[in-house]
Each structure stands twice: as structure tokens, then as C-alpha cells.
Structure 1
Amino acid sequence: MNERVKQVASALVDAIQKTLTEQRVTEEEWRAGIDYMMKLAEAKEMAVLLDTFFSHTIVDLKAQATRGSRPAIQGPYFLEGAPVVAGALKTYEDDSHHPLVIRGTVRTDDGAPAAGAVIDVWHSTPDGKYSGVHDQIPTDLYRGKVVADAQGKYAVRTTMPAPYQIPTKGPTGVLLEMMGSHTWRPAHVHFKVRKDGFVPLTTQYYFEGGDWVDSDCCKGVAPELVMPVKTEGGAQVMAIDFVIERPREHA
């Protein structure tokens, strides 16, 4: 028996049973709920639903204890094995979105430069899709790895992402609309920062003044993750410094 699984699963079952009783859920409603879960599985949207409604809670708990940068939800579209890029992510040849430069420094929790840290960067296509996941878009588009230099500095060029919707015809989007919520996510860029001997940092950053920043349907936005964007040399520039932490020693 796993005591931790027993503890969490029992609490979850108790909470569901309490809700069923307090809301006086009918058998017809219960059967509709079962049908919904079957549709969720068929649509392969379980990860989407969990990210939409629950992942931000886990991340908020983690953020309370971190000594590093503010974490954020990973989202369901991270892929291992993205190519190492030298200066720029590969984009559509006809991508007309505004150029975006992301740059900054990676440091450790004692302030030292994190030389050689590897930063996975990924974001949506201009039409809100993710490479390697949707519509057979080649995996090497709009995602890649950037390596920090000896001073911990990094820079990568791409194009501005756009806001996009959780699929409105899928089970998650249907549930959001039935609950009176919209299905939009604000434009954002994902990051996963890794270096041997340090806790991986998974986060995402948003654009100050962007649409839906104040009402993300996934509740993933925190004030620390909203960045001002400047214009330099015809490109938008987002400056992001990361801090990664060493594992905590447990007594």
C-alpha cells in the first residue's frame, strides 16, 4: 500500500462524494458526467482539461516554496528532443508576425551565472497551433533549445505569438462555455530551464497589455510573469532573467 496515494485519493473521493450530496446530483446528471468523461478520453483532452482547471493550483503551491524564478504551468504541448538553435527558432517562411527577441541571463540561487544552462523555448504558431502536435506541423518549428554562455547570457529570435482558444468544439471548451467562461489563452512563450545539479524551472511569460492577460481561461497568469515589451531595431524585445535553484536537502 502507498500511504501518500491513499491519503490524496481518499481525500479526493471524499470531496467528490460531498459535492454529489450537497448539490443533490441526480442519476441523469451523473450519467451525463460519465458520458462526458468518455468523450474527454476519446478526444485525448485529459491533459488539456487538467491544465485548464487544476495545474495552476499545483504551480501556485510550488511557487510559495521556490527560491528561484516564478514557475508556471507547463501546458500539454512540451516535447523533448527539440533542436539546439543558434540565435533563432525556425518559423514558417511566410510568418508575417512582428519579430520578437527574447534575451536575458540565467543565474543560480546564489547569484552565480548558470553557464551552459539549456533553455527549451516553445510557443504557438500564428494560428494558435503547436508543432509536433497539431496538423502535422514539423516538430522543429516554433521550438528549440538555447544554451546560456559562460556569463549565463542567452538570446533567441522568433516571431510574436498570438492569443488562441482552447478547442471550442472539444469537451474542455464545451465545459468552459457551459460554465460561463471564455476559452481564450493570452499570447505567451514557454520556457524550461535545466542544468545538472539544479531543479528544472518550467514557466511561461506573457506580454504586458496583451489580450486576455487579465482573464486567462487556464488561470496561469501571475503578475511576475507579465513582461513589458520594448521595440529595438524593428523587433519587439522581451528581457527575462531566470534564477534556478539547487535541490533542497531533506532531513
Structure 2
Amino acid sequence: MTDIITEQATAAASGAAATERFRTRQHSGATDVDAKRVDTLATELITAVHDIVRRHKVTYAEYDVLKAWLIQVGQDGEWPLFLDVWIEHVVEEVASENREGSKGTIEGPYYVPDSPNLSAEATLPMRDGEEGTPLLFQGQVTSVDGTPLSGATIEIWHADNDGYYAQFAPGLPEWNLRGTVTVDDRGHFRIHTIEPAPYQIPTDGSCGRLIAAAGWHAWRPAHLHLKVSAPGHQLITTQLYFKGGSHVEDDIASAVKPELILDPGPAADGNGHEVTYDFVLDKA
């Protein structure tokens, strides 16, 4: 990765991009929310904050620090980052608790729809000489009854060898390491890419200041992002991690599940690694 990317990939820039992406998606897919649900959830949230203030005897000095920090989160464009890192994993847990098929996990702030369409055996778009260990990611998509799902699609995106995402860091090609793969008639896919690196969530903004103040670390383990879908079936949004990788055991986003850990072995052609992982989709 060039020095210019390292110098310019800031929390403010990536946070602003994530916020703008979310606003666009929310506007296009906005739905009415029941007022009674808003009343219940907002009231309980505010009541929980009141309870924290009382139990911990929060001072005006601490309250003012909190108020200033909340304002700065918005100015930094980091609300998507904050919510996706510390809140989303519980929302996902509740949303998918009745599924019988493959496990899901958080989407994260760096999803971009409409990535290039690719065939069942495909190489993700990447730069010439893309740094990183080559990875063949292969498997099959089936329904919970074992029926292969011909025509299922797999949206895949991930960070590069330096932990940066295309469209959220300068200097990267628009669709670098992003694609939408359509499986074959038997539901099989073979995706050639590189293994992503662990990375810190942006620490030069408000989320970074919270992490520093609390004495936490800011690291996410290396992972592949995926959205797997097929007609008549529920979409799975998930991430897949790598056995033995850094921070698999203490992910800052609390998104790792045992079922989502890959264990790649040497590739058959001697070039990098390969791993097989199958997706099972619930009926809609």
C-alpha cells in the first residue's frame, strides 16, 4: 500500500463515507416505524441511561464530557461506526435467533451494493500484484432441506492486505476486492481472492477517543464479508474469520461466532491457501 493511502485514510473520511452510504440506503428503503414501538424503545433507552446516572453518581463534569463527545461523534460522521461496532451484533443476534441455516453476523459500515457481477468461478477485482496470500474460497449454497440453490448469489467484500476497503480509502480502485458471484446449477462457487488483514477501526476520531479513554483495543480480526441470497429464501449477512488469527478471541465488535471460523489449508496448486465453506439458507 502506498504511503499516500496510509496518510489520507482517516476516521473522518471513512466515517463520512459510511454515513453518506447509510443515508442513501435508508432513504431508498425507508419504512414507517410503529409509534408504539418507538415509544417503548425510546422510553426504555432513556430510562436505562437514567439508571446508569443514578447508580454511578455521574457528575456534571462527566456529563459535560459525554455531551461533548456525542456532539463530536456526529461531526466526525462516526455514528455508523459506533453503532456497527458496539450495538449491531446484538440486533443481529435477535433478528436471526430462529434461523435453522447458516449463522450470520454484523454487516459493518463498509458494504456497497451493486458490485460487479461474476460467474461461479471467479477472481475478485484487484490490482496487478495485489499484496496478500492468495485464497481460494469455495463451497455450495443449499436450502435447509439440502436442495442445491441454483442461481443463488454471493456478495463478497473485504479489506486488502493493509486493512483498507475500496470506496472508503483513497487510492484504491472502485471495486477492489468486491464482487457479486452467481453460483452454478448445483449451487457451487469458487472465488479467488487474497486473505485480508486484521485492522484497527479508525482511531483518529471520536470512537478512537472512547477506546483510548476506556483502555480498550481497536482491532478487528481478518474477515470476509458476505451476503448470500436466493429466491424464496432468507438473506444471510455474515463474516468469516480465520482460525488462529489475531483478535479472533477478542474482536472489538464482538461479532465472531465459532461457526464462522475458517481453517484454510494449502492450496492444491501450491499457491496460497484454500478453504471450503457451505451456506445453508432458510426458506423465506
TM normalised by structure 1 equals 0.94
SS state of the match for residue 103, structure 1?
strand
Is this contact kept in 1: 2:132–2:160, CA < 8 A? no
Counting only pairs closer than 5 Å after superposition, residues 87-106 of structure 1 correspond to structure 2 as 87-106=122-141
Cα distance between partner residues in 1 of 2:166 and 2:224: 14
SS state of the match for residue 232, structure 2?
coil
Counterpart of 2:251 in structure 1 is 216
* Alignment counterpart, residue 273 of structure 2, candidates 214, 222, 236: 236
The letter for the 2-side match of 1:239 is: T
Aligned-residue Cα RMSD (Å) equals 1.3
The letter for the 1-side match of 2:64 is: R
Is this contact kept in 1: 2:105–2:238, CA < 8 A? yes
Cα distance between partner residues in 2 of 1:39 and 1:2: 29
Cα distance between partner residues in 2 of 1:6 and 1:246: 32
Counting only pairs closer than 5 Å after superposition, residues 104-123 of structure 1 correspond to structure 2 as 104-123=139-158
Cα distance between partner residues in 1 of 2:145 and 2:281: 9
Q: CA deviation at 1:196?
A: 2.1
Cα distance between partner residues in 2 of 1:17 and 1:220: 28
Counting only pairs closer than 5 Å after superposition, residues 145-156 of structure 1 correspond to structure 2 as 145-156=180-191
Q: 1:34 to 1:136 in 2, by over 3 A?
A: farther
The letter for the 1-side match of 2:258 is: P
Does structure 1 residue 131 correspond to structure 2 residue 198? no
Counterpart of 1:39 in structure 2 is 72
Could you tell which deviates more after superposition, 134-143 or 100-109?
134-143
Counterpart of 1:163 in structure 2 is 198
The letter for the 1-side match of 2:155 is: D
Moved over 6 A (4+): none
Counterpart of 1:72 in structure 2 is 105
Does structure 1 residue 28 correspond to structure 2 residue 61? yes
Is this contact kept in 2: 1:59–1:72, CA < 8 A? yes
The letter for the 1-side match of 2:187 is: G
SS state of the match for residue 64, structure 1?
coil
Count of residue pairs the alignment pairs up: 247
SS state of the match for residue 202, structure 1?
strand
1:176-219 deviations in Å (ceiling 9; x for gaps): 22222110111000000112221110001000011111111111
Is this contact kept in 2: 1:62–1:71, CA < 8 A? no
Cα distance between partner residues in 1 of 2:132 and 2:140: 26
**Which sections of structure 1, spanning at least 5 residues, go unmatched?**
none
Q: CA deviation at 1:2?
A: 1.2
Is this contact kept in 2: 1:193–1:202, CA < 8 A? yes
Is this contact kept in 2: 1:164–1:184, CA < 8 A? yes
Cα distance between partner residues in 2 of 1:14 and 1:136: 46
